[in-house]
Amino acid sequence: MGKKVFMVCFCMMFLIISASTLFAKGKKEEAPPPVETEKKEEMKKEEVPPKKMVKNPDTMIYARYGTVQSLDPHRAYDTSSGEAVMNMYDTLIAFDGPATDRFVPMIAEKVPSIDNGLIRDGGRTYVFPIKRGIKFHNGAELTPADVEYSFERALITDQDGGPIWMFYEPLLGVAGSRDGDGNLVVSIDDITQAVEVEGQSVVFHLNDPYPPFLGILAQYWSGILNKEYMITNGAWDGKKQGWERFNNPDQGAEALYDKVMGTGPYKLVKWEPGVEISLIRFDGYFMGPAPIKNVVIKIVEEWTTRKLMFTAGDADMVQVDTMYWPEMDMLEGVTIYRDLPRIENTAVFFNFDINPEANQAIWSVKLDGQGVPSDFFSDINVRKAFAYCFDHDTFVKDAWLGFATTPNSPVPKGLPYRDDTVPIYEYNLDKAREHFKKAWGGKVWENGFKLSILYNTGNEHREIACQMIEENVESLNPKFQIEIMNVDWGNYLNMMVQKKCPLFIIGWVMDFPDPHNFVHPYMHSQGTFAEWQSYNNPEVDGLVRDGIKSVDKGKRQDIYYKLERTYYQDVPGFMISQSVYRVFVREWITGYYWNPARDQMMHFYMFKKGY
Amino acid sequence: MNFLNYIVRRILLLVVVLVGVTLIIFVLLTLFSPEQRASTFIRDIKQLSDLDSIIKTYGLDRPVYVQYFMWLRQILNGNFGWSTTVSRPVLDAFKFFLPHTIELALFAAPLIILAGIWLGSLSAVHRDKPVDHFTRFLAIIGWSLPTFWFGLILLMVFYGYFKGLFPPEILSYQAQSFVDSAEFIRYTRMNTIDALLNGELWIFVDAVRHLVLPVITLAVIQIALIMRIMRSSMLEAMGKGYILTALAKGAAPKTVIRRHARRNALIPVITVSGWLFAQLMAGVVITETIFNRKGLGWWWARAATQLDIPAVLMAVLFNGLLFVITNLIVDILYAYIDPRVRLG
């Protein structure tokens, strides 16, 4: 009896599998299989070639990793979220194709400039005439009031972890709506006066001239919202009274966390956080409907699965980590966009005033051969010696498989006002030895030192950089001891914020295409990295301030050139890599172009599918 | 009455267990600084300036017992917190991922248990014969296979080489689009069951195609365990006096094996099967990851590595509940199978 039951079970399994195969074939007739491209050459000239077919011809499937955090343009501040948002909202202006220094009008009729009179008051007033007839996804017409509301709501919301800090500096001259204790530092009048409607135009009143302002407005966080829809869905009601309760909502409590009402080329169909997001073409898009009807972004974390989906034609585009690029070269039927220059860089930063409190990274906290004092890196000779110990060529080759370059300054290649002539500290152990001998009046060389350097677990690039520093520094003197520690990401951030890392390795990706976006965090005493390093050069602070307030291109160039050279001279850190990116699509996907401001985010409006 | 008492006692015990394990988790939290926990909200170093604000908002700097009571109060209000791993409320995420896990367990568990019992019996009855050697060999191979390796090999062969025969994920694009449409009613969010309830056979077949490889991956590895336990238990039962007596009295060997030996040998298998089912219900991390079937195991594994405390607490609560209930069911089944066992 039992045996029979088991036999029935197995027979059922067999039948299901057989039926699956048969049904699968039946379905595949409706959705044609991927094309065998190698047959192309075999076709005779006189024959009419059959039209090549692709799977899901009206749908683009992108297999990637990275969870969308929020669909609210004022909260989204990661690649996955930004990508989703940018396909469903429009901005006043956009980058002109692959350029980061030229703009085209989108919702605005014109791109403001001094020449056309729309940038006034020495760069303190920007006027955007608004196009008529642009429709939101719900059919409502976009008005200047929607534009005004969008920016005011951004300033009012200013949610933790969001990108709105970028509006605060130009518009109100402060870093954000709250101080470190969470108290509001701006008033509703400050906010409403910053953005105003004048007829069919929207006027921005800047606190000071801010040359990269257009670059900030061209990104997804400046997407225009539908005021009425927002109010209906519980967002700020547009009134001055009680605005405070809309400031800094909890994670997920933001009004547009899982809702969308934009004017962009795609509408939201479904978002399953951590799983996938589906979009459908907005046929009423004011620039004309997108060529591809449906877009599905699937989160597939396992590389082999992602690759198999791509090769089977179940994904049209795939995200590939650098280490897998060589194996992708061997695939057929794939279009690879190579050597796409990212505007980012990674650097090694020295801590001038290491926090000794319960800090095992500096051991004895003395220069006795068994530790380092808190101010170990305040001696420029120590910093120079470490910089000379870094073998840049080997690092790029080993850590990046050659798919990166060594930047010479905090301003990455691709940004304006970058001085190519600034030297770098080339790998030179003789010079490193020389500086170690001079450091701390010779005590470093005589006594030796011991310190720990950290990287976050799983980050191979930082691990290799740490290993290179350890090996090369220790090779100079047997009294030099460096321990490498790996810690989780949270711990790593914590150690940096608390200024406990003797040196740390971290990178910065561009927010807007201007050197200010890099020199401020790297060099200003209140900038993100410089603050963790306790690097404080009053002259540098002044230059950073002057650089962002100046609208004179020649003057800005002088300032940034000087800052870049100062970074070399002061050596608060040294750059180790600026990476490139590759985009992998099946050969039936066309139309892609790279814009470094979008970085890895895909704007699906550009793509076409088919032969 | 005894039986009811027993169940009530076990349910009370369940509450104690759940409070205990969640307390342990909260005590373990003291190992992490508020900054470390707040940093789970930070995806980019540019957001680090908000660290203090995040700590204050979520009360991460308050004493652990205060945080525990805050959490308990939230739970009683039906708020299980926010999962940073999947960017959604914990309860929503749980409701979303649970059907995927149940569906996989519903397909895998019967296969594993029935096949394990059958192969174990077969092996014991044919002790030291080629059938026994062969099944034992298979069991060793199955048990030794690393899940990630075996799953990937299956995927490469049956999806890569055989051109999408048994694909990863949960449904094909066409089927998913149909399931998401208004024409399809989601009763359980388990695609196979919903497809049958909607009368859409092609959706059912599509869902089964996507289940074949993960079920085989789980089955090949887990069958070995049940089989080995069943074999040794069966051998022990077959050596008992009452079996020999039955055979000596002329009872048919098949009847003796089926009615006497196998039934008695099932007791340890039931324990393990209960544990196995609970384990499958709690999610199978590697299988879910390789086949991109987002279920509870996938979610909780990421939550654990990313210090997503609310999600980890949900995992602890659910697993505690699951294992206590499973043990209760196993105990009841014991009493049913072995009349000598009395509950209470």
A9 to B111: CB separation less than 8 angstroms, yes or no: yes
User: Is B205's CB within 8 Å of A20's CB?
Assistant: yes
- What does the pLDDT read at residue B339? 67
Q: Which of B35, B89, B290 sits opposite A305 (nearest CB)?
A: B290
Question: What would the DSSP string read from start to end of A140-185?
Answer: PBP-HHHHHHHHHHHHHH--TTSSTHHHHHHHHSSS-SB-TTS-B-
pLDDT band at A44 (very low <50, low <70, confident <90, very high): very low
pLDDT score, position A38: 39
Buried b / exposed e along B138-166 (16+ C-beta atoms within 10 A): bbeebeebebbebbbebbeebbbeeebbb
Residue A449 CB: number of other CB atoms within 10 A? 30
CB atoms within 10 A of CB A64: 20
Would you call B70 an interface residue with chain A, using a CB distance cutoff of 8 Å?
Answer: no
| Cβ contact, residue pair A497, B48, below 8 Å | yes
Chain B interface includes A526 (CB < 8 A)? no
Taking residue A430's Cβ as centre, other Cβ atoms within 10 Å add up to 8
Mutate which of A497, A506, A508, A522 to test chain B, going by most B C-beta atoms within 10 A? A497
H or E segment and range at residue A487:
strand A480-487
Measured between beta carbons, the chain B residues lying within 8 angstroms of A248 are 53, 57
Please report the pLDDT score of residue A47 as a whole number: 52
The pLDDT of residue B189 is: 94
Structure tokens at B130: 């080629």
Residues A452-498 have pLDDT tens digits of: 999 988 888 999 999 999 999 999 999 999 999 988 777 788 788 88
A528 inside 8 A of chain B by CB = yes
B45 touches chain A (CB under 8 A): yes
**Considering only CB atoms, which chain A residues are within 8 Å of B160?**
308, 311-312
What is the chain B residue with the closest CA to A498?
B35
Instruction: Parse chain B into domains and list their residue ranges.
Output: 96-294
For residue A487, the distance in angstroms to the closest alpha carbon of chain B comes to 11
| Cβ pair B51, B35 in contact under 8 A | yes
Q: Over 90: is that where the pLDDT of A232 sits? A: yes
Coil vs helix vs strand at A510: coil
Nearest CA in chain B to A60: B173
Q: Which two tokens stand for residue B45?
A: 């170093």
Contact (Cβ atoms closer than 8 angstroms) between residue B316 and residue B300: no
Which residue among A272, A274, A308 sits closest to B156, beta carbon to beta carbon?
A: A308
**B279 in contact with A at a CB cutoff of 8 Å?**
no
Rounded to two decimals, what is the model's pTM?
0.85
With residue A60 as reference, give the H or E element that holds it.
Answer: strand A59-64
Give residue A53's pLDDT band: very low, low, confident or very high (50, 70, 90): confident
Distance from CA of A591 to the nearest CA of B (A): 23
Average pLDDT of the segment spanning A1-24: 47
Cα–Cα dist A520/A511, whole Å: 12
Contact between chains at B173 and A314 (C-beta distance less than 8 A): yes
**CATH class of the domain comprising B96-294:** mainly alpha
pLDDT band (50, 70, 90) for residue A23: very low
Entry field: residues in chain A: 611
A89/B329 Cα distance (integer angstroms): 53
Beta bridge partners of A108: A130
Query: Would you say residue A304 has pLDDT above 70?
Result: yes
| Residue B64 token pair | 């652990």
> For chain A, what percent of residues have pLDDT higher than 90?
82
Contact: B43, A178; criterion CB under 8 Å: no
Enumerate residues 76 to 115 of chain A having a beta carbon within 8 A of any beta carbon in chain B.
77-78
Identity of the residue numbered B79 = N
Res B51: pLDDT: 75
- Over residues A282-300, the pLDDT tens digits come to 999 999 999 999 999 999 9
3-state secondary structure of B299: helix
Measured between CB atoms, which of A31, A490, A498 is closest to B307? A490
Inter-chain residue contact B56 with A182, CB threshold 8 Å = yes
A245 has a chain B CB within 8 A of its CB: no
Please indicate whether, in this complex, the C-beta atoms of A308 and B155 are within 8 angstroms of each other: yes
What tokens does A115 get? 């020449």
Confidence of residue A596 (pLDDT cuts 50, 70, 90): very high
**A33–chain B Cβ distance below 8 A for any pair:** yes
Q: Tell how strand A317-318 and strand A573-586 pair up.
A: antiparallel
Give yes or no for B215 touching A (CB within 8 A). Answer: no
Closest chain A residue by Cα to residue B115: A6
Residue A32 pLDDT:
39
Confidence of residue A223 (pLDDT cuts 50, 70, 90): very high
CA-based Rg of chain A, rounded to a whole angstrom? 28
Q: Give the pLDDT confidence score for residue A148 in this predicted structure.
A: 98
User: What are the 10-residue block averages of pLDDT along chain B, 344 residues in total?
Assistant: 74 82 79 76 68 79 85 83 88 94 94 93 91 89 88 94 92 94 94 96 96 94 90 90 88 86 86 86 86 92 82 88 84 74 59
Is B261:B243 a contact under the CB 8 Å cutoff?
A: yes
Among candidate residues A97, A59, A218, the one with its CA nearest the CA of residue A592:
A97
How many angstroms away from the CA of B14 is the closest CA of chain A? 31
The whole-number average pLDDT for the span A302-314 is 94
Rounded distance between C-alpha atoms, residue A246 and residue A148, angstroms: 17
* Chain A residues with CB-CB distance to B41 below 8 A: 160-161, 251
Nearest to A185 by CA among A160, A145, A155: A155
Is B50's Cβ below 8 Å from some Cβ in A? yes
Question: Does B212 contact chain A (CB < 8 Å)?
Answer: yes
